Structure 1
């Protein structure tokens, strides 16, 4: 899904957000800047090489035939750059031609080709990649080949990833590549019992750290696994691995081994005692409703953890899993909390418990009173989301959402709350018509967020809204007023609804072409290879190094917006504990954009801690919103452009909260 809008819900419940991984030891990763003499200006690689600019332009324009010609260049640097270009273009018509260059004489070219083939995810490359495992003499290239194979293997080809050639079973790089290949296959839902068993073996501390990280995350993220037979190995990793990334992912995987008697107590211990807050978050997210009674005391304690991200995660645990608790108890605990987001989430849990009528009314009134008193639009929004747990608050939330002078952020949260409320099993039959009319009113406002949210609700088959709104003309009129590409996300939501309700084939997304916003090479030429950016926030200063050589179009756009002062005064509108802090939205609610899109630039970089990426509504739809990862998040690799890296101020990034201000963004030497 888009990184513009939230995954699942704004409460961020679930294990999908604890993604603690480190890049492969053999893969290109985002790195801090190379130290240079004070005041030194290091030109970027495009400054004096018109051919590299030409290749990047062809990549931006998605011109496959012209790029293929550069794969035949006598200059290995150009062959490498042309191969990497296909990692962003991803034109499967070029697979066969790219495939043939796995035998290039230069290891750097072969590695770029392997990465591109993985990005193209074309199963027709599977056989060649499989053959290359044993034939490849270079260790780093071999690791890339194995990972690429995981991105395009079929189920029938999976055994080639599970069983390495005998000559390679002790090779460090090969083990790393195997682990990442199995991880990539698992993300695609391709796994097997032998593959799971091999991943568990790769967790052993005798294996390279990068292999352990990939294995732990594969086990944590693969759906439908019962890891109870492997509980002992996971427990050992979660308790003793020297890497927080391995411990955290192993703890998350333990949520799939909950039938093992020792697991709840171990998770409770990790949530209380692990020295790294990221592992404590993973332990909380691994806890589930079945183990609620055994772990709730640890979760209560985590509500006052010194780290706010841990406290938020603990509140989310109660919202997702608490049952047969007193709503009044949650209210009392919430009233003692200082951090507004933790408090609002716990108030949602209080309302969700469905106390007796008098107590429920008292909780509802307390939340409404806090809403009225709150000064921050983000706190107001969260309190409306809390009220979304109680259908009796329908009229209050409806009026707040559509108040004539309501702030954009609050309106967006409010409509989400109304949709969540309508999904409650006890939503009154008598108010269903009113809700349908509220959706129509939202669409007719022309506000992109309200229109997008309303359209999504209308295509929800569980809500069955079509009989109440048989004429879809209001949606079509609202869509006609949208401006592309600025309003693309709302346009997509409406079009998907129209296609669904009218039972017509899916309409292709109208992605803007490169000609509408080409790479500004004059701007790129003005950006040194070591260009840094200072982001001044209410929590402190964050320093980024721009990766102009890997993402010239994205960096040029970012620099131009900085020079315009575009980001000054904006907010971080989305912060997911131990995942991302996201900002740069001109609306402040995640639905804003510029009047142009840029194309995805998917270089061979990893989302490590402090990677800075561009949000999008799909490939080639990037604009102004950007995010910083709290910890390595490899499921984003190759899907979202990385254009910068935090080189100072990660402690500030870890402290950012929803609503914190981006006071000023400046280019510095």
Structure 2
């Protein structure tokens, strides 16, 4: 699949898919000749049956959806199959396999395969494998192979690794095989033959989709030794035409670190690649073992023109510098203009042993006192989390009257980080236990959630200091569901842990508590747009109402209520996501309702907009924009929009940047 920032028109999806290149955010095609193909309104405004199918999906009613798989109208069979991909009920597997084998419409068969993969039902493996040699549609073969990766057993991996000879030059099959091996790798299923095949699929003559999947598979599959392939990986990272392939392979080079040539390859990429995401990936691939030969490239990256690259360089020193003089890191940090880069390098300075730590601590505390920005203050507390001698300072800041919610959250995280340090004084452990108790009893959802998480961490051995669960139970009773679900979940897990009880299921809100507002959906145009006006510039979104009606309707209602105006981007992970929409500003905020996940046949490419969640069917108001392809999110987080203008703005967004206003077009 290609990962263009722009969604292609539905009418070209079948053609593109046939050569193995699915667009980042392609809506499902509309049946030829249907009213929805030419209507200026969205498909739900004109079709009550599609509304019915979407409602059944939202309500997770498998039995009521299954009859639509036999409907004479192709578009309803498509919609029902795709709905079952969100429901993810293995009870539908036999009917979906039958649909895959017998339906005359290729798009229906594709969506049946997609739904089977989403359910991850191992009993579907045989049926998928049997369909492959009989499938006449190239794009459907790609779907079948990717679904196999989600369903295959270890024994069946060999069949996915070696395609039938008849498919050896089929570009769609090559893409499907690569994505299948990627999905299997995410599940921990791989082999030497699979790795060798993925390296072959990186060859320049293969489709972009196959190369992208292979790069991601090699980067994200755990436990691989890629040293035998170091030369091939370095060549692909240097020369591939697509930035996301180069970035993925650069990340994979971390697993070839025992080859002597790898540090120089990574240093060259970090210095010279024209795309910031590749430079960033090269820095992330650098390890402590290669510290000396890559150090100068990392120093240079601290002043990279892209702030995300500079931050990643600072994170490299935080993670891997062990013998740098702390005062040297302090001096370099003080000269940096970007506050998050500076604070991260200050954390690295505090982590170093030797003289000068007190002066570094004092410099960080002085910056904290002088900064007017809550997010910078939070990051400075995060830096002090590297120094147990700053415990009292951080505790006072965390619970100071009138402090911002953001500071209180970062402060609690820093206190827990201090306790995890090997040199945390044994005599201060009772004080730390009291801090956790204070955090729980204070009622702030972030502090109590973080405190509860620390209490149940067996490495911290807090059971002896906080054996009684009464204060946790009292705090849990004050929470409001589903708004405070994450805090409730953390508290309940801790109560169960201390009591030695079986884990309590998460209370997910049902559709009846917040049904899809069809009046809102039907009033939207076929291609609704929203403008996110930020302090860095404007970002234009295309809202995918046909693919995620419940999520889009909620977003639209919140926009009309002015909910997002004045909020901040509270989380920015370089070369991953920029996330905003939290009413608290720290990631722990929500609305008074939850949405159900809508897993349409869409892919997380560059500029995909998804809903944050605490698990399936717990989405609310927070959303994120991807900087680059992030296929490990596919089918796990709802995609409800796509950036169509302003990706340059997205690449510059930083924690604390303001969402001035969101408007509908």
**Which of the five TM-score ranges fits, normalised by the shorter chain?**
over 0.9
Q: Judging changes above 3 Å, is the alpha-carbon distance between structure 1 residues 378 and 275 closer, same or farther for their aligned structure 2 residues?
A: same
Q: Which residue of structure 1 lines up, in the alignment, with residue 408 of structure 2?
A: 411
- 1:33/1:545 contact within 8 Å kept: no
Superposed counterparts of 1:56-95, under 5 Å: 56-95=54-93
Counterpart-to-counterpart distance in 1, 2:462 and 2:605 = 43
Q: Which residue of structure 2 lines up, in the alignment, with residue 143 of structure 1?
A: 142
Post-superposition offset of 1:92: 1.1
Deviations 1:476-518 (A, max 9, x none): 1101110000000011111111222221111111000000000
- 2:456/2:494 contact within 8 Å kept: yes
Post-superposition offset of 1:25: 3.2
Secondary structure of 1:148's match? Answer: helix
Deviations 1:535-593 (A, max 9, x none): 10000001001000000000000000000000000000000111100000000000000
Post-superposition offset of 1:27: 3.7
Q: Which residue of structure 1 lines up, in the alignment, with residue 380 of structure 2?
A: 383
**C-alpha RMSD of the superposition:** 1.5
Counterpart-to-counterpart distance in 2, 1:613 and 1:246 = 22
The structure 2 residue matched to 1:30, chosen from 1, 25, 29, is 25
Q: Which residue of structure 2 lines up, in the alignment, with residue 658 of structure 1?
A: 655
Q: Judging changes above 3 Å, is the alpha-carbon distance between structure 1 residues 617 and 55 closer, same or farther for their aligned structure 2 residues?
A: same
Superposed counterparts of 1:355-504, under 5 Å: 355-356=354-355, 359-504=356-501
Q: Which residue of structure 2 lines up, in the alignment, with residue 262 of structure 1?
A: 261
Deviations 1:47-105 (A, max 9, x none): 11000000000000001111001111111110111010010000112212222111211
Q: Judging changes above 3 Å, is the alpha-carbon distance between structure 1 residues 49 and 32 closer, same or farther for their aligned structure 2 residues?
A: closer
Q: Which residue of structure 2 lines up, in the alignment, with residue 647 of structure 1?
A: 644
Secondary structure of 1:395's match? Answer: helix
Counterpart-to-counterpart distance in 2, 1:24 and 1:569 = 44
Q: Which residue of structure 2 lines up, in the alignment, with residue 185 of structure 1?
A: 184
- 2:467/2:498 contact within 8 Å kept: no
Secondary structure of 2:593's match? Answer: coil
Counterpart-to-counterpart distance in 2, 1:26 and 1:475 = 51
Counterpart-to-counterpart distance in 1, 2:294 and 2:413 = 31
Deviations 1:235-294 (A, max 9, x none): 110111111111111111111101111100111111011111110001000000000011
Superposed counterparts of 1:273-288, under 5 Å: 273-288=272-287
Post-superposition offset of 1:354: 2.4
Counterpart-to-counterpart distance in 2, 1:130 and 1:76 = 25
Q: Which residue of structure 2 lines up, in the alignment, with residue 9 of structure 1?
A: none
Post-superposition offset of 1:42: 1.8
- 1:23/1:606 contact within 8 Å kept: no
Post-superposition offset of 1:23: 13
Q: Which residue of structure 2 lines up, in the alignment, with residue 621 of structure 1?
A: 618
Counterpart-to-counterpart distance in 1, 2:496 and 2:216 = 36
Q: Which residue of structure 1 lines up, in the alignment, with residue 547 of structure 2?
A: 550
- 1:28/1:604 contact within 8 Å kept: no
Structure 1 residue runs of 4 or more that deviate by more than 2 Å after TM superposition: 22-29, 31-34
Post-superposition offset of 1:31: 5.0
Unaligned runs of 5+ in 1: 1-21, 35-39
Secondary structure of 2:386's match? Answer: coil
Unaligned runs of 5+ in 2: 1-16, 30-37
TM-score (norm 2): 0.95
Counterpart-to-counterpart distance in 2, 1:181 and 1:578 = 24
Counterpart-to-counterpart distance in 1, 2:345 and 2:404 = 24
Aligned residues: 640
The structure 2 residue matched to 1:523, chosen from 492, 513, 520, is 520
Q: Which residue of structure 2 lines up, in the alignment, with residue 17 of structure 1?
A: none
Secondary structure of 1:606's match? Answer: coil
- 2:28/2:547 contact within 8 Å kept: no
- 2:24/2:606 contact within 8 Å kept: no
- 1:23/1:210 contact within 8 Å kept: no
- 1:24/1:180 contact within 8 Å kept: no
Counterpart-to-counterpart distance in 2, 1:383 and 1:244 = 33
Secondary structure of 1:462's match? Answer: helix
Q: Which residue of structure 1 lines up, in the alignment, with residue 14 of structure 2?
A: none
- 2:219/2:248 contact within 8 Å kept: yes
